[in-house]
Amino acid sequence: MKIPFRQGIVRHRVDSAGNPGFLQKSNSGTTVDLIASVVEPTVVAFAHGNSDYLFEEFASVTPAWLGPFSAGTDFWLFWDLSLTNNATRTFGHTTLAPVFGPTAPTGLEGQHWFDTNVNVMKVFTNGIFKEVVRLFAAKYEQGAILKPFEVGSQVNIDQTTFAGTILFDDEDNVIRKFGPRRRTEFITSESQIATFSSNQAVNLTFGEAAFVAEAVGAIPEFHLVAYNDQNKIELASSADNKRVVGLVVEDLADEESGTFVFEGFLSSLNFSFAEDPGTLLFCSVSGQVTTSVPQTGFIKRIGHVVNATTIFLEIQPQIELQDS
């Protein structure tokens, strides 16, 4: 998924007033629940060296964070992805405010520090700063008032990145790679691989199948495309009989070469589906992905909804609509 920052909350449920609504404390205040659903998932992105891990919560967790939370004490609630236990997600808390920057803070047991030199979260444990993969959800002020973190970077890294879901092998073991300084990182659906198309190298990701082509006219990101008579791609439309061949994931200028995905899972903040998983998707008259079935021209079914921000692209034969 393309996101405009690193290390932060990407999406969460909001209440009727537009305030964060993805956390709820118990009546006693001794536990905190995570509130999420398929339609309103909580989506977070962990930065870890050169990698960015996308984690999506599609169901509520009751309880998620366990106390005791002492009255009069501030707590910071976090998610953790285990580096040693197959990237298992757990919940935790600390009484020390997390910090970030290039210089290590004073070593206090349980102090979290996001080291911006290497873009890694660390926690002071048994006399050293130990590498972890963690992201904060909220401050639990005085053990009484929940103050959720807003959407965006928690470490002031506002740059476009591609965060992917962690991949596992056929025995359900996480797949790893070596990052800088021999750091072990997880391979994700956005990890880059290389292949050749049209006699040139093309960078792809594990979660997609793609070709490279030259654009005719400007094509906005996450729009559907079709070939013209010169085997170049242009905006697809339900109004003509040109078959949809794929979807571009970045803006393409006129005569610019780029890749288009023709099959696979695609996640984007451009998507915000309220429909149920499995809902069919179609090409609109302007080349957008839509759940609305065209009433004139051609029905071009291109896949289905997976969740609010993810589709599965699977292009089907088109159907011409007859004039009544």
Q: Which domains can be identified in the chain, with CATH numbers?
A: 2-162 (no CATH), 192-320 (2.40.300)
Determine the pLDDT at residue 179: 64
Give the dihedral sign, CA 158/22/62/73. positive
pLDDT the model gives residue 178? 72
**Cβ pair 27, 34 in contact under 8 A:** no
Query: H or E element: which one contains 86?
Result: none
Rounded-to-integer distance, Cα 159 and Cα 245, Å: 30
Task: Spell out the residues 6+ positions from residue 24 whose beta carbon is closer than 8 angstroms to its own.
Answer: 32, 33, 35, 146
Quick one: pLDDT at residue 190? 80
| % of the chain at pLDDT higher than 70 | 92
pTM, 2 dp: 0.75
pLDDT for 208? 58
Which residues of the chain have a pLDDT value below 70? 179-183, 192-209, 323-324
pLDDT at 206 (0 to 100): 59
Asked if the bond preceding 220 is cis, omega within 30° of 0, the reply is no
Within 10 Å of residue 71's Cβ, how many Cβ atoms?
A: 9
pLDDT of residue 170: 79
Q: CB–CB of 26/68 below 8 Å?
A: no
